[in-house]
């Protein structure tokens, strides 16, 4: 099929970024959309939007991504952002325990409002642990307790960011074609290529690739 036709046949997939303020949502999206990382990332006011086309085994998926601000004062608005979302990336900073607690809040909120939204639990800023600048406050296994796909990323080191979004697009196509459903199982998204660069480090994030 030629590319123009593939684009015409592409399916839109609404993705929302949720999580505590400072958990790394905007940097994750910036890395994915523009392959860049800005240490002076500014707090997002309200919500920002970005879209990108990804090729999957079954065709093109147009990821339409909403980046929400996690601040308390926007909580009531957040439900508007995740309405009809097909996927939610729920971020926590791996070096901040409070960030993990907030993640539980978001998971419950999305699950109760959007039954068909597939949830991706994302532990961010893994580079801070590798570089021994901060200590790990959330263990890899803890990310897997939510019956959702889980992954550890670093937007700064460009670790697991593209694989996460690619997985969302692949899963979306599978869900769309009825091969899998959007809820129910825990799965660590482990990508051997992207973790190779950190193979000598003892703390490289998920070490298993279970899919149940
Ligand atoms: P948001 O409020 O969830 O959108 O968080 P931001 O994406 O704005 O990031 C908050 C802070 O964490 C900023 O100072 C970023 O520079 C920093 N940050 C985000 N991602 C990473 C990362 O992967 N590694 C490191 N070292 N810092 C990060
Ligand atoms: Mg932000």
DSSP code, position 44: P
Host domain of residue 108:
3-211
For residue 115, the Cα-to-chain-centroid distance in whole angstroms is 18
Ligand 1 mutation pick, 17, 24, 47, max ligand atoms within 8 A of CB:
24
The answer on pLDDT for 153 being more than 60 is yes
Q: Which residues have C-beta atoms less than 6 Å from ligand 1? A: 19, 21-27, 39, 41, 43-44, 70, 124-125, 127-128, 154-156
For residue 157, CA distances in Å to 4, 28, 60, 131 come to 34, 11, 27, 11
Residue 8 C-alpha to ligand 2 middle, in angstroms?
31
**Per-residue tokens: 139:** 């263990």
Q: Please report the pLDDT score of residue 38 as a whole number.
A: 85
Domain with 122 in it: what CATH number? 3.40.50.300
CB atoms within 10 A of CB 168: 25
Count the domains in the chain: 1
Ligand 1 mutation pick, 19, 21, 27, max ligand atoms within 8 A of CB:
27
- As a whole number of angstroms, the distance between CA 199 and CA 212 comes to 25
Express each pLDDT in 13-59 by its tens digit. 999 999 988 999 999 999 999 999 987 777 777 678 999 999 998 89
Helix axes 75-82, 97-113, angle to 10 degrees: 50
CB atoms within 10 A of CB 62: 15
**Mean of the pLDDT values across residues 168-172?**
96
């Amino acid at each position: 099929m030629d590319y123009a036709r593939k684009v015409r046949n592409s399916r839109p997939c609404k993705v929302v970024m949720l999580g505590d303020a400072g958990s790394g949502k905007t940097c994750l999206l910036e890395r994915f959309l523009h392959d860049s990382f800005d240490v002076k990332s500014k707090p997002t006011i309200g919500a920002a939007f970005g879209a990108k086309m990804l090729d999957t085994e079954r065709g093109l998926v147009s990821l339409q991504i909403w980046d929400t601000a996690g601040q308390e004062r926007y909580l009531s608005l957040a439900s508007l952002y995740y309405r009809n979302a097909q996927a939610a990336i729920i971020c926590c900073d791996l070096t901040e325990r409070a960030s993990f607690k907030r993640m539980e809040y978001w998971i419950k909120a999305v699950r109760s409002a959007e039954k068909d939204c597939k949830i991706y639990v994302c532990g961010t800023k893994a580079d801070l642990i590798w570089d021994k600048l901060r200590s790990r406050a959330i263990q890899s296994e803890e990310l897997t307790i939510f019956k959702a796909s889980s992954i550890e990323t670093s937007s700064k080191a460009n670790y697991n960011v593209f694989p996460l979004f690619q997985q969302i697009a692949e899963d979306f196509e599978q869900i769309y074609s009825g091969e899998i459903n959007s809820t129910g199982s825990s799965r660590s998204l482990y990508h051997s290529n992207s973790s190779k660069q950190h193979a000598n480090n003892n703390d490289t994030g998920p070490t298993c690739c279970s899919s149940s």
